[in-house]
Amino acid sequence: MTMLTNRPMSLFFVEFDELYARHLCRHSQLGINVIHLLALLGIWYAVYGLLYWLVGMEWLLAAAALAYLAILVIYVPMRVFLAAAIFLALIVAAVVLLPQPPFWAYLIVLPALYEVQSWSHRFYTIETDMAQFNKKYTKGFVLFIILLIYEVPIVLNFLLFDRTASAANITRSDQESTAANAS
Instruction: Note the residue count of the chain.
Output: 183
Q: What is the mean pLDDT of each run of 10 residues along the chain (183 residues)?
A: 75 91 90 95 96 94 96 96 98 95 94 93 89 88 93 96 58 42 41
Domain range for residue 55? 21-176
The answer as to whether 12 is a domain residue is: no
Of the candidates 31, 25, 35, 18, the residue with the CA atom closest to the CA atom of residue 114? 35
Per-residue pLDDT at 165: 57
In a domain, 51, yes or no: yes
Structural domain includes residue 6: no
Cβ neighbours of residue 130 closer than 8 Å, sequence gap 6 or more: 22, 25, 26, 171
pLDDT attached to residue 167 = 43
Query: Global pTM?
Result: 0.84
Q: Is residue 28 part of a domain?
A: yes
Give residue 11's pLDDT.
Answer: 87
How many domains does the chain divide into? Answer: 1
Q: What is the reported pLDDT for 181?
A: 40
